Amino acid sequence: MNKTVLITGSTSGIGMATAALFAEKGFTLILCGRRAERLEHLKTTLGKLTKVRTLQFDVRDKNEIFKAIASLPNDFKNIDVLINNAGNAHGLSTIQDGDIDDWDAMMDINVKGLLYVSKAVLPIMTERNSGFIVNIGSIAGKEVYPNGNVYCASKHAVDALNKAMRIDLNKYNIRVSGIHPGAVETEFSDVRFKGDSEKAKAVYEGYNALQAEDIADIIHFVVTRPYHVNIEDLVVYPTAQASATILNKN
Ligand code: NDP
Ligand code: 8X3
């Protein structure tokens, strides 16, 4: 597949599994994240399968993002697919007990980060009247659950931006798809619980959680439909889950 795909948050979880699958399928990859060692490892391993370029930036830093995208050489700069995946929850507490730094992190990374990266990549797509943007939302962008407050707000914003992008970019033939997973076993809960691995592990115990590869497979399906097909919005649960709060644990 001779298409160039930029994946944010490719150093872990859903982004990393998506990078691996897209490498196998022969896409040219631009892999982004903050952890340099992991980026280097991806370049070495996936570089055996396809062309890989890594960009190290924090999605909160718009200057870094614009510099990184502008630095892409000719054989990487025509980005066909942008996968806005970088994001996390920080903390899980009531609104009255919430940590303001956690709130800043979630709004800055999940919402503003997605906007900054999109802003840097969009001219490449609008100029060519072609492109595909996949926004990774969450069931937290469709429902609100106890203690999820600001994470849910950030993912509701992603849901709104996903719809807004589809409207504004329609005349440029740019497809925009939102994918909204339920529970996926990644480093997500390690980040949410700030390295408390017992608490993080417990989130995925007693049922078969989705794996990052399940979401990668869906992202691949979505972006490989014929050009006249745009899957607008997709909610994906593990079979044990029926809503943000209903989970059938053993
Ligand atoms: P992981 O924690 O495993 O991966 C998160 C990725 O985001 C990492 O590659 C991380 O890279 C990157 N990232 C985080 N903060 C920043 C930042 N400031 N700048 C740049 N990159 C950043 O979690 P998941 O794979 O589960 O999460 C991927 C997406 O899926 C997120 O948007 C999440 O909200 C969403 N999601 C996850 C669900 C789940 O249950 N796991 C369910 C629904 C949605 P690095 O640290 O190297 O920068
Ligand atoms: C991550 C899944 O259930 O914590 O978006 O919102 S959940």
Residue 244 falls inside a structural domain: no
Residue 232 falls inside a structural domain: yes
When pLDDT is averaged across residues 50-59 and rounded to a whole number, the result is 98
Ligand 1 atom index nearest CA of 185? 41
When pLDDT is averaged across residues 84-102 and rounded to a whole number, the result is 98
Testing ligand 1's pocket by substitution, the residue of 12, 107, 155 carrying the most ligand atoms inside 8 A of its CB is 12
Tell me which residue range forms the domain holding 26.
4-236
Q: Is 151 a catalytic residue?
A: yes
pLDDT tens, position by position, 143-175: 999 999 999 999 999 999 999 999 999 999 999
Ligand nearest to the CA of 216: 1
Residue 109 falls inside a structural domain: yes
When pLDDT is averaged across residues 59-86 and rounded to a whole number, the result is 98
Tokens representing 6 are 């930029």
| Amino acid type, 247 | L
CB 23 within 8 A of CB 51: no
Three-state DSSP state, 99: coil
pLDDT at 1 over 70: no
Residue 19 falls inside a structural domain: yes
pLDDT of 2:
86
pTM passes above 0.90? yes
* Number of domains composing the chain: 1
Which residue is it, tokens 């599994």?
17
Q: What is the CATH number of the domain that holds 169?
A: 3.40.50.720
Residue 85 falls inside a structural domain: yes
Confidence of residue 61 (pLDDT cuts 50, 70, 90): very high
Residue 214 falls inside a structural domain: yes
> How many whole angstroms from 188 Cα to the centroid of ligand 1?
6
Rounded Cα–Cα distance for residues 16 and 173 (Å): 28
Residue 249 falls inside a structural domain: no
Residue 241 falls inside a structural domain: no
DSSP secondary structure string, the chain? ---EEEESSTTSHHHHHHHHHHHHTT-EEEEEES-HHHHHHHHHHHTTTS-EEEEE--TT-HHHHHHHHHT--HHHHS--EEEE----------TTT--HHHHHHHIIIIIIIHHHHHHHHHHHHHHHT-EEEEEE--GGGT---TT-HHHHHHHHHHHHHHHHHHHHHGGGTEEEEEEEES-EESSHHHHHTTT-HHHHHHHTTTS--EEHHHHHHHHHHHHTS-TT----EEEE--TTBSSSS-B---
Greater pLDDT, 8 or 250: 8
Q: Cβ < 6 Å from ligand 2: which residues?
A: 89, 138-140, 148, 183, 188, 244
| Amino acid type, 22 | F
Q: Cβ < 6 Å from ligand 1: which residues?
A: 8-15, 33-35, 58-60, 85-88, 109, 136, 138, 181, 183-184, 186-188, 191, 212
Residues 116, 151, 204, 237: which is the catalytic one? 151
